[in-house]
C-alpha cells in the first residue's frame, strides 16, 4: 500500500476520515487505523473519537468527583495504565515510548487539575463539563498522531481551538458556525501532511470548549469536510454500513448501498446508530458524499458499503429502503376535552420544556390530547415541569415508557400511492396495536409507536415489504 503522507506527497488533504470509538477498542486497533490511512494515495484529515467507552467513563468520574475527591487519582491511574498498555503494544523503541508517555501524562495532568477544581467548588460549571469530556478525544488524537509519526507518516495533531473550528457557543450541544470556520480551517489544514483532529467539540467565539452533542465527532468531521470542500467524508465503523433492518432481529437484512442525505438523516434520528443525526447537515448544500466503510474488512478498503449523497435512488416498486427503531422514546400525554384547541396550552408547555433543557422529539395533537415524544431520560423531569404549570384545561397527564418507535424510510414514499396503507396493513395483520402514527411530517419517513413487546414482530412484518 502507498504511504499517503510520505515525502512523495504533492497536495494538501482533500478527504476527511472519521475513525470512531468502536474502531479504537483494543491496542492493536492502531495498526488497523494505520492500514486504513496507508490505503489513501494523498494526505487526509483524520478526525478521531475517544477510545471506546472512555467518554462515558469520564462523565461518571466527573459527577463523582463533585463530592468525592478520592476518585481523581483513581481516574489518573486508569488513564496512565491505558496509555501505557497501548504504547507498549505499538511502540517498539523504549526511549520513544517514554517521550510519548510524557506528552500523554502532561495532558492527563491538565485533566486532573480541572477535576480537582470541580471537587473544591463542589459544582460542575457547563464550560468545565464540556472541557473535561473533550479529553477522551484529546488523548486519542495525541496518541494516534504520535503513533503515525513512529510508523513514518508525516502528520500533525491539530486541535479545534488551533484551527479555528468555531461554534455558536452553546454548551453540550453546540452547532458549528460554518461561515466563521471555513477560512481559518482551510488555512490551518493547507500543508502537505496528514492532520489528526480530536472530534466531538469546537470552540465558542470566546474560545471556550463546546461539545457538539454525544456522538458529535461525526458532525465535527462533516463540518471540517465542508470547510475544506473535501471530495468525501469517509466514516470508518465496525459495521457494514446501513442495513435494511437490524440484522440482530431480522436475519435476512440487506445492505443499503445508496441513500439520500434526507434518508440517512431520518434513519440516524430514529435509531440507526451508523451516523450522528446532524452529520449530513453541513454537507447537503455542497453535495459532498459520505462514504461508510468497515474498518474490520480490509478487502473492502476501496469500496464503501453505503454512500450517502444527493442522489437518492428511487425505483418503482423499491421505494422503501430501511426500517429502524428506537427504544429511547417515551410519551408525555396531556389530556382534556379541549386541550388540543385551547390557545396557549401547547405554547406554554413547549416553552417550559425548553426552559428545562428538555428536547422535544415530536408533537402529535388531537382535540382531546397533546402527545410529546421525549427521550426516556427526560420524561420524569418533563412530567414534574408540566404539573407545576397548573394548566387548567388539562384534566390529567399520563406517562408511557414501555414503548418502541418504528420508522420506515424511503425517498418518494409519500408520492407513491398506497405505501402508508401497505405498511400499516402489514402490521395489523399480525394483530399489533399502533399507539400513535405520524405520516407526512417528513417526505421520506413514516413513523409510529407500538408496545415494546411487539418490536421484533413489527420489524419482521415491515421488512417483508422491503424484500418484495
Grid cell listed for 468: 418484495
Grid cell listed for 37: 490511512
Q: In what order do the strands lie in the sheet with 232-237?
A: 155-157, 194-198, 45-48, 15-19, 232-237, 290-294, 306-309, 258-260
Residues in a beta bridge with 364:
371
Task: Output the pLDDT for position 350.
Answer: 94
Q: Find the helix or strand (DSSP H, E) in which 210 lies.
A: strand 209-211
Which residues have CB under 8 Å from 393's CB, separation 6+?
336, 338, 339, 342, 345
Which residues have CB under 8 Å from 335's CB, separation 6+?
368, 369, 394, 395, 396, 397, 398
The answer to whether 18 and 220 have CB atoms below 8 angstroms apart is no
Q: Find the helix or strand (DSSP H, E) in which 95 lies.
A: helix 94-121
Task: Output the pLDDT for position 466.
Answer: 81
Q: Are strands 201-203 and 209-211 parallel, antiparallel or unpaired?
A: antiparallel
CATH class of 15-309: alpha beta
Tell me which DSSP letter residue 42 carries.
S
> Could you read off the pLDDT of 236-259 as tens digits, one per residue?
998 889 999 999 999 999 889 999
Q: What number of helices (H) and strands (E) belong to the chain?
A: 14, 18
In the chain, which residues have pLDDT < 50?
Answer: 1-2, 5-10
The answer to whether 439 and 420 have CB atoms below 8 angstroms apart is yes
Task: Output the pLDDT for position 2.
Answer: 42
Task: Output the pLDDT for position 405.
Answer: 93
Task: Output the pLDDT for position 312.
Answer: 62
Fold classified for 322-467: VC0802-like (3.30.2130)
The answer to whether 218 and 18 have CB atoms below 8 angstroms apart is yes
Q: What does pTM read for this prediction?
A: 0.90
> Could you read off the pLDDT of 98-154 as tens digits, one per residue?
888 889 889 988 998 999 999 999 999 999 999 999 999 999 999 999 999 999 999
What are the residue ranges spanned by the domains of the chain?
A: 15-309, 322-467
Task: Output the pLDDT for position 1.
Answer: 39
Amino acid at each position: 500500500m502507498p504511504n499517503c503522507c510520505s515525502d512523495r506527497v504533492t497536495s494538501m488533504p482533500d478527504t476527511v476520515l472519521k475513525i470512531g470509538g468502536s474502531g479504537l477498542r483494543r491496542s492493536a486497533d492502531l495498526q488497523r487505523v494505520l492500514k486504513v490511512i496507508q490505503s489513501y494515495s494523498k494526505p487526509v484529515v483524520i478526525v478521531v473519537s475517544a477510545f471506546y467507552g472512555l467518554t462515558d467513563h469520564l462523565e461518571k468520574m466527573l459527577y463523582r468527583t463533585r463530592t468525592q475527591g478520592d476518585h481523581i487519582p483513581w481516574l489518573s491511574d486508569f488513564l496512565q495504565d491505558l496509555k501505557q498498555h497501548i504504547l507498549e503494544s505499538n511502540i517498539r523503541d523504549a526511549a520513544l515510548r517514554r517521550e510519548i508517555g510524557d506528552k500523554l501524562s502532561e495532558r492527563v495532568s491538565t485533566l486532573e487539575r480541572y477535576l480537582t477544581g470541580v471537587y473544591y467548588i463542589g459544582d460542575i460549571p457547563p464550560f468545565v463539563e464540556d472541557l473535561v469530556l473533550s479529553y477522551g478525544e484529546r488523548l486519542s488524537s495525541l496518541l494516534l498522531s504520535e503513533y503515525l509519526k513512529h510508523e513514518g507518516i508525516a502528520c500533525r495533531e491539530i486541535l479545534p481551538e488551533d484551527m479555528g473550528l468555531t461554534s455558536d457557543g452553546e454548551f453540550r450541544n453546540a452547532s458549528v458556525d460554518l461561515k466563521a470556520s471555513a477560512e481559518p480551517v482551510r488555512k490551518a489544514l493547507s500543508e502537505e501532511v496528514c492532520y489528526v483532529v480530536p472530534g466531538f467539540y469546537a470552540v465558542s467565539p470566546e474560545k471556550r470548549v463546546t461539545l457538539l452533542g454525544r456522538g458529535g465527532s461525526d458532525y465535527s468531521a462533516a463540518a471540517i469536510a465542508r470547510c475544506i470542500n473535501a471530495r468525501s467524508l469517509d466514516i470508518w465503523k465496525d459495521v457494514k454500513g446501513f442495513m435494511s433492518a437490524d440484522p440482530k432481529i431480522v436475519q435476512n437484512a440487506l445492505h443499503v448501498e445508496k441513500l439520500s442525505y434526507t434518508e440517512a438523516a431520518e434513519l440516524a434520528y430514529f435509531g440507526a446508530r451508523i451516523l450522528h443525526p446532524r452529520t449530513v447537515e453541513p454537507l447537503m448544500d455542497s453535495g459532498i458524499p459520505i462514504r461508510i466503510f468497515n474498518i474490520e474488512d480490509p478487502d473492502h478498503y476501496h469500496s464503501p458499503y453505503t454512500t450517502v449523497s444527493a442522489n437518492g435512488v428511487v425505483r418503482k416498486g423499491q421505494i422503501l429502503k430501511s426500517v429502524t427503531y428506537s427504544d429511547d422514546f417515551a410519551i408525555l400525554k396531556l389530556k382534556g376535552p379541549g386541550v388540543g384547541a385551547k390557545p396557549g396550552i401547547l405554547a406554554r408547555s413547549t416553552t417550559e420544556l425548553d426552559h428545562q433543557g428538555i428536547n422535544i422529539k415530536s408533537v402529535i395533537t388531537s382535540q382531546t390530547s397533546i402527545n410529546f415524544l421525549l427521550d426516556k431520560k427526560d420524561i420524569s423531569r418533563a412530567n414534574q415541569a408540566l404539573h407545576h404549570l397548573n394548566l387548567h384545561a388539562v384534566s390529567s397527564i399520563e406517562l408511557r415508557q414501555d414503548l418502541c418507535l418504528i420508522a420506515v424510510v424511503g425517498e418518494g414514499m409519500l408520492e407513491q400511492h398506497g405505501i402508508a396503507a401497505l405498511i400499516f396493513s402489514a402490521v395489523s395483520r399480525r394483530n399489533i396495536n399502533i399507539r400513535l402514527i405520524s405520516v407526512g411530517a417528513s417526505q421520506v419517513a413514516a413513523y409510529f409507536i407500538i408496545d415494546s413487546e411487539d418490536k421484533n414482530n413489527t420489524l419482521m412484518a415491515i421488512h417483508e415489504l422491503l424484500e418484495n
